[in-house]
Structure 1
Amino acid sequence: MIEQLPKAFLTRMEDMLQDEYTAFLKSYENPRHFGLRVNTLKISVEEFLKISPFSLTPVPWTPNGFYFEETDHPAKHPYYAAGLYYLQEPSAMAPAALLPVTPGDYVLDLCAAPGGKATELGARLENKGMLVANDISSSRAKALQRNIELCGIPNSFITNEVPASLAKAMPEFFDKILVDAPCSGEGMFRKEPAVAKTWDETRPAFFAKLQRECVWSAISMLKPGGLMLYSTCTFSPVENEGTISFILEEYPDMELLETDSYKGFSKGNPAWGNGDPELTKCLRIFPHRMDGEGHFMALMRKKGSSGQTLSDFRTKPDKEAQKLLTEFFAGMDIPFPADRIEVRSSNVYCLPPANNHFKGIRFLRNGLFLGELKKNRFEPSQPLALALKAGQFPSRLCLSPQDERIGRYLKGETLPVEKGECTKDKGWQLICVDNFPLGFGKLVNGTLKNKYPAGWRIH
């Protein structure tokens, strides 16, 4: 691995680390670490540990993060398809863990794809407040949408915009903002050797310019009194202490805050920025000091305080649509506010609390997609299934992880069902692994018609 690292990168790291450089180099000979983060929106850590079939060791800096063995293959287990956990490199769990999100906050993840940090922020909102998850890339934003829906986060607005356009539409809108900035990726060389092949000496300065554009937009969207967590997965001083120095110089209303530190974390180095002693409040993760890849983090506060008046514009269901929705949801313990339901082109959504669509913003999803109105019926969606708990739907088929029908269901196959296995003998069923929803099916004469979406199926 060491021979694949760029010479200019190694020269700079030796200058930065001095006596620790040999230990840093040696870390590249070690195998990478694998992590999963329990989705506390669906299951508590304690409950998950009781049913987990994996060999898990706690990640110190996040209470719901764990190392797993490469031989465990958690992506192949049906619990993954139920959204009980998200697979994430352990160091990458730190930024979301260090941003103190509380239920009811308005939260932005500005550079969110593929969703590792956004899904944790969304889980900690506990279905209250609002998560805006943005990515500039259309293809990456689609992956982000899939992961947010898999994790069952209903109060999300998934956007596909440049930060400046978001800033124009949402001035001083957010209580908390995460800027996991685009960067040169030096901290991921061990995990993704291909990144090292694309690196050259110009990339840190190139990304530093992008980062400063991102933080300008983020700061303008942050409420006075709000918190912003800036992070990268690079070692480069110009992208880390350099960007924070820029913020402190150009935005006097922003201040650095102390954050929790853990064994192996390092303080920021003022000499790698503009010399401001406040830079010691930043945090660095080096792979030779702890079990993970390289990361940098800085928690900042915008001085002052303010309130926020929210707008609420929606297209309410007409009488026929309302009749079909009432029939479908009759007897359900609906986990979302019925007064936020909107119908657009026969698609039905439950909107987040601030839902004026933010004119001109490109978005993939505004709120929870509930399903589609068709002739004389309503068909529920996959995101609805994953946002439910088993007991909230009138009829369900609960299978064990070992039941061969689980694999067949996830492949989109029709399933045989014995009388009495489902709560009701016909109609829509919520298909669950143990007691955790996977998707919908429709029971007709002892045969379950599979409604698991084609794009989600296992091949």
Structure 2
Amino acid sequence: MHLPKDFLKRMQGFMQEEYEAFVETYKENKVQGLRINTLKISVEDFLNFNPFHLKHIPWIEEGFYYGTEDKPGKHPYHEAGLYYIQEPSAMAVATILDPKPRERILDLCAAPGGKSTHIAARLKHEGFLLSNEIHPSRAKILSQNIERMGIKNCVVTNESPERLAQRFQNFFHRILVDAPCSGEGMFRKDVEACEQWSMEKVASCARRQLDILEQAVKMLMPEGRLVYSTCTFSPEENEGVIDQFLKKYHEFSIEAVEIYHGFGGGKPEWIKSENEGLRKTIRLWPHRIQGEGHYIAVLKKNDGDGEYKIKNSKKEIDRKAIKDYFCFAEEYLHKIPEGEYILFGEQLYIMPKEMISLEYLKILRPGWHLGTMKKNRFEPSHAFALALTEKEAKNNICFSAESKEILSYLKGDPLSVDGKKGWHLIHVDGYSLGWGKLANNVLKNHYPKGLRWTVDSV
């Protein structure tokens, strides 16, 4: 790998006796990990039938390295949302954020969704997650990953931090700012980040990171936790940003948290700062752990304005307008999902009760997508299926992950199946994968066309 000369010169000056061990990691293959989605399956149950060569990641209970021979992205369990493929060091961030059920959480720079889906798993469908991404194409990928993991209590927005701060003052218990950065910690796995690196980019990122943090301040309630993270080694973007932030916002302090013994502390001397509290921030180094480079700072808001009072300005939906949904749910489910129903055009959602009015916000996903209100009928969505369990549906068809039927289903083919006429929830080894509609022993395939496997993907 051809690393930028200025980058190497800087790192040699910073790391001194550790420099040679650090540089040697660029001759090694990147490590790969997956995080089990505990919204759908327990770690124990997954390990009982897992098809991969897994080794536990020591800083996260539900995280595992997988072997170079494994292809978890091309497995039916991936499509069922049983796990999320995620870089191992990145799994430390949401663990350190430590979200609790019933809290209101903001992931401000959320795409592609690794940390948001981790937060959602920790919330256990209780509380509220707002996942935001300012870039439209990346926000769409984020929304798709929220759907795949079967998350019910998340709203996905495509907004600037400034616009969100106008609406959610003192609103969130915890906020994650996984800030856009120069990507130095990802050079081993991202050639493009390496090629685009420059000192000018480092400086530009640092300015933008501080701007984002200043908006996050407005949205965090007193006693709340703000976690700032990057995937870069650059002290200007790490200790430098936090040092500047603390000089301006005296109500914040750095919070020490329990960490894995292989993690390192912050380096105030690299930015010539006298703030020894910066040593309580966290650095992950590829020569010390099996993972890429990361920086994490945990900030606590010690005082400030009072907690946000939720203003219920939402309009109640006319339940007669969605009577076909209730008919569907009564016929095919043991219990009708309840909540705050909203219609986005023809699309029906259950919105988290903590979400404020949707007016004047760019919303990609206002909650759990149930389906489409067609003329005189309701058609269930893929997101509806992925968040349901076998016990909740009246009609279930289950295939093995190794069966030819599951491969045919993922390719979008119709299937010959004996059973009752109507909608059926399709499962892989007992975990929901999508819908099919049965008539005359032929299952019409409702697996989304955009997700279907092709010959090349098999």
Pair 1:220 & 2:218 matched: yes
Q: Once the two structures are aligned, what percentage of the paired residues are identical? A: 45
153, 156, 160: which is aligned to 1:155?
Answer: 153
Equivalent runs, 1:378-397 vs 2, <5 Å: 378-397=378-397
Change (3 A) 1:92 1:334: farther
State the partner residue of 1:357.
357
Given the two structures, how large is their TM-score scaled by the length of structure 2?
Answer: 0.96
Q: In 2, distance between residues paired with 1:391 and 1:415?
A: 23
State the partner residue of 1:78.
76
Q: In 2, distance between residues paired with 1:69 and 1:82?
A: 21
Equivalent residues of 1:313, 1:355 under 8 A apart:
no
Shift of 1:41: 0.5
State the partner residue of 1:412.
412
State the partner residue of 1:344.
344
Deviations 1:13-72 (A, max 9, x none): 000100000101111111110000000100111111111111111111111000000211
Shift of 1:356: 3.0
Equivalent runs, 1:13-24 vs 2, <5 Å: 13-24=11-22
State the partner residue of 1:325.
325
Shift of 1:455: 1.5
State the partner residue of 2:374.
374
Paired residue type of 1:138: P
Pair 1:312 & 2:331 matched: no
Shift of 1:318: 3.4
184, 187, 191: which is aligned to 2:185?
Answer: 187
Alignment coverage as a number of residue pairs: 451
Given the two structures, how large is their TM-score scaled by the length of structure 1?
Answer: 0.96
Q: In 2, distance between residues paired with 1:314 and 1:282?
A: 41
Equivalent residues of 1:176, 1:222 under 8 A apart:
yes
Equivalent residues of 1:382, 1:439 under 8 A apart:
yes
**Tell me, which stretches of 5 or more residues in structure 2 are unaligned?**
none
30, 33, 37: which is aligned to 1:32?
Answer: 30
Q: In 2, distance between residues paired with 1:83 and 1:6?
A: 38
Q: In 1, distance between residues paired with 2:127 and 2:26?
A: 42
Equivalent residues of 1:335, 1:388 under 8 A apart:
no
Q: Find the residue that maps to 1:70 and give its secondary structure.
A: coil
- Name the Cα RMSD after superposition: 1.4
Deviations 1:311-339 (A, max 9, x none): 33445443543431221111624484x24
444, 448, 458: which is aligned to 1:449?
Answer: 444
Pair 1:57 & 2:55 matched: yes
Q: In 1, distance between residues paired with 2:129 and 2:23?
A: 39
Q: In 2, distance between residues paired with 1:346 and 1:313?
A: 21
Q: Find the residue that maps to 1:11 and give its secondary structure.
A: helix
State the partner residue of 2:258.
260
Paired residue type of 1:230: Y
Paired residue type of 1:281: K
Greater shift, 189-198 or 430-439, is seen at 189-198
Pair 1:289 & 2:299 matched: no
Paired residue type of 1:312: N
Greater shift, 249-258 or 401-410, is seen at 401-410
Equivalent residues of 1:311, 1:355 under 8 A apart:
no
Equivalent runs, 1:92-171 vs 2, <5 Å: 92-171=90-169
Q: In 1, distance between residues paired with 2:371 and 2:173?
A: 31
Shift of 1:396: 1.0
Pair 1:69 & 2:67 matched: yes
Equivalent residues of 1:158, 1:366 under 8 A apart:
yes
Q: Find the residue that maps to 2:246 and give its secondary structure.
A: helix
Q: Find the residue that maps to 2:41 and give its secondary structure.
A: coil
Shift of 1:354: 2.2
209, 212, 216: which is aligned to 1:211?
Answer: 209
Equivalent residues of 1:169, 1:361 under 8 A apart:
no
Deviations 1:369-390 (A, max 9, x none): 1001112211100011111112
Equivalent residues of 1:373, 1:379 under 8 A apart:
yes
Deviations 1:123-148 (A, max 9, x none): 11111111100111000000000000
Equivalent residues of 2:312, 2:357 under 8 A apart:
no
Change (3 A) 1:358 1:326: closer
Q: In 2, distance between residues paired with 1:202 and 1:334?
A: 57
Q: In 2, distance between residues paired with 1:319 and 1:271?
A: 62
